[in-house]
């Protein structure tokens, strides 16, 4: 009888181990979205005897590739892929659709949406030694101040030509959307009273009023046709000062004005991209433990991991009757992981090596 019980216990133990390892194996998940989607690709072509729709679609693919490149790469890396052949671009495309097409005044016009295979695109860029930044939308509070150094006059929002034209410069690849406040007498006086030391003024009184976590304080100094942008940038608790000069630019010339706004917006986009750099080859392993009996909490965690941008993959490293340990491969800092997962109402105790889900 004892022998029989021992055999049954052994079999149950072996079965449990077998089940556990199969559970671990099939719980390894790649969680990155499969595609990058580029929408609103507008293509136009003359409709005549030489019209070829396939060539028009190819042009759409090139524009989509240009947009996704500007969306996920800093400008310093764009030249490395600027002349990518159309056949190489096609290999990266998962799917596409023509959302709208029409023939007007002997012209063919279409709007396309193109999906790029995420893994293929990352692999292609890796072969060029380029690290991508994950596209992530962000709302940023903008405080624009323009100072004429010759007259010592300043404009906050009213009659600030940069503020007035800011929203007119828009690109399909922009990830930053700007919130510009209305002119406020109290804000105006705060700036005026600190004009002599404006570069060191922290603008806290204004920022606190609008509860702004992500912000740009953009101070524009003008001396004749020389323009200097002095920007205090705070994205995701990362603070940086950006200074950029433009020479021989006339702000009353719309072309000059637009080019400066586009240039400085691209600088801000690059700054945001640098924070969202993703390097799958140097993923940070993070271990999370929780009670194995709490199925609801486990499912909640897995749903969050599947949604987080920088999670490359995760697997169950240990599973027994007491505890589950998840091993998460994360392509950013542990600090960012804690902040991102908190948005899913998941609190983590970091006091031990294996962090614990509270």
Question: pLDDT category, 292, cuts 50, 70, 90?
Answer: confident
Of 66-75, 184-193, 273-282, 322-331, the range with the lowest mean pLDDT is: 273-282
Distance CA 224, CA 230 (A): 17
Distance CA 168, CA 258 (A): 9
Exposed (0-12), middle (13-18) or buried (19+): which is 5, by Cβ within 10 Å?
exposed
Closest CA to 281 of 123, 69, 80, 75: 123
Q: Given the DSSP bridges, would you call strands 355-357 and 107-117 parallel, antiparallel or unpaired?
A: unpaired
Q: Return the pLDDT at 17.
A: 39
Distance CA 140, CA 166 (A): 13
Q: Three-state SS across the chain?
A: CHHHHHHHHHHHHHHHHHHHHHHHHHCCEECCCCEEEEEEEEEEEECCCCCCHHHHHHHHHHHHHHHHHHHHCCHHHHHHHCCCCHHHHHHCEEEEEEEEEEEECCEEEEEEEEEEEHHHHHHHHHHCCCCEECCCCEEEEEEEEEEECCCCEEECCCCCHHHHHHHHCCCCCCCEEEECCCCCHHHHHHHHHCHHHCCCCCCHHHHHHHCCCCEEEEEEEEECCEEEEEEEEEECCEEEEEEEEECCCCCCCHHHHHHHHHHHHHHHHHHHHHHCEECHHHCEEEEEEEECCCHHHHHHHHHHHHHCCCEEEEEEEEECCCEEEEEEEECCCHHHHHHHHHCCCCCEECCCCCEEEC
Of 2-16, 203-217, 325-339, the range with the lowest mean pLDDT is: 2-16
Residue 25 has pLDDT above 50, yes or no: no
Q: Return the pLDDT at 231.
A: 98
Residue 193 has pLDDT above 80, yes or no: yes
Which tokens is 101 given? 């097409």
Q: Return the pLDDT at 86.
A: 96
Residue 10 has pLDDT above 70, yes or no: no
Exposed (0-12), middle (13-18) or buried (19+): which is 47, by Cβ within 10 Å?
middle
Chain length of the chain: 358
Per-residue b or e along 91-114, where b marks 16 or more CB atoms closer than 10 Å to that residue's CB:
ebbbebeeeeeeeeeeebbbbbbb
The CATH homologous superfamily of the domain defined by 35-131: Helicobacter TNF-alpha-Inducing protein (3.10.129.140)
Q: What is the mean pLDDT of residues 244-267?
A: 97
User: Are 348 and 341 within 8 A, CB to CB?
Assistant: yes
Q: Where in the chain is the domain with CATH 3.40.50?
A: 138-277
Question: pLDDT category, 340, cuts 50, 70, 90?
Answer: confident
Residue 254 has pLDDT above 90, yes or no: yes
CB contact set of 67 (below 8 Å; sequence gap of 6+): 38, 41, 172, 173
- What average pLDDT does the structure give for the chain? 87
Q: How many CB atoms lie within 10 A of CB 343?
A: 10
Q: Return the pLDDT at 224.
A: 92
Of 24-33, 64-73, 211-220, the range with the lowest mean pLDDT is: 24-33
Q: Return the pLDDT at 116.
A: 96
Residue 121 has pLDDT above 90, yes or no: yes
The CA–CA distances, whole Å, from 191 to 208, 211, 293 equal 14, 18, 58
Distance CA 96, CA 54 (A): 13
Question: pLDDT category, 293, cuts 50, 70, 90?
Answer: confident
Q: Where in the chain is the domain with CATH 3.10.129.140?
A: 35-131
CATH for 279-357, options being 1.10.357, 3.30.70, 2.60.40, 2.30.30: 3.30.70
Q: Return the pLDDT at 253.
A: 96
Question: pLDDT category, 313, cuts 50, 70, 90?
Answer: confident
Q: Where in the chain is the domain with CATH 3.30.70?
A: 279-357
CATH of domain 138-277: 3.40.50
């Amino acid at each position: 009888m004892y022998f029989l019980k021992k055999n049954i216990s052994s079999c149950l133990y072996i079965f449990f181990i077998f089940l556990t390892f199969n559970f671990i194996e099939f719980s390894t998940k790649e969680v990155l979205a499969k595609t990058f989607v580029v929408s609103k690709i507008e293509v136009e072509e003359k409709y005549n005897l030489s019209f070829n729709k396939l060539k028009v679609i190819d042009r759409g693919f090139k524009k989509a590739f240009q947009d996704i490149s500007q969306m996920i790469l800093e400008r310093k890396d764009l030249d490395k892929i600027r002349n990518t052949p159309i056949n190489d671009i096609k290999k990266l495309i998962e799917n596409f659709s023509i959302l709208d097409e029409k023939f007007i005044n002997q012209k063919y016009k279409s709007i396309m949406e193109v999906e790029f295979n995420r893994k293929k695109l990352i692999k292609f860029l890796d072969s060029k030694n380029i690290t991508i930044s994950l596209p992530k939308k962000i709302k940023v509070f903008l405080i624009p101040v323009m100072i004429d150094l010759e007259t010592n006059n300043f404009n906050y929002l009213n009659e600030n030509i940069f503020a007035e034209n800011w929203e007119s410069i828009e690109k399909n690849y922009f990830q930053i959307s700007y919130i510009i406040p209305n002119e406020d007498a109290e804000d105006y006086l705060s700036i005026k009273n600190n004009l002599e030391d404006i570069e060191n003024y922290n603008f806290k009184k204004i920022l606190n009023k609008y509860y702004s976590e992500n912000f740009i304080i953009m101070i524009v100094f003008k001396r004749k046709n020389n323009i200097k942008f002095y920007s205090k940038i705070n994205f995701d608790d990362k603070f940086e000062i950006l200074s950029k000069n433009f020479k021989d630019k006339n702000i009353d010339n719309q072309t000059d004005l637009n080019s400066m706004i586009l240039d400085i917006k691209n600088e801000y986009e690059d700054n945001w991209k640098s924070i969202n750099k993703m390097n799958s080859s140097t993923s940070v392993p993070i271990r999370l433990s929780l009670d194995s009996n709490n199925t609801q909490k486990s499912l909640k965690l897995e749903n969050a991991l599947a949604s987080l941008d920088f999670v490359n993959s995760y697997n169950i490293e240990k599973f027994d009757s007491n505890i589950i340990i998840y091993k998460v491969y994360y392509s950013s800092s542990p600090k960012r992981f804690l902040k991102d997962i908190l948005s899913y109402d998941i609190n983590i105790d970091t006091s031990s090596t294996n962090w614990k889900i509270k």
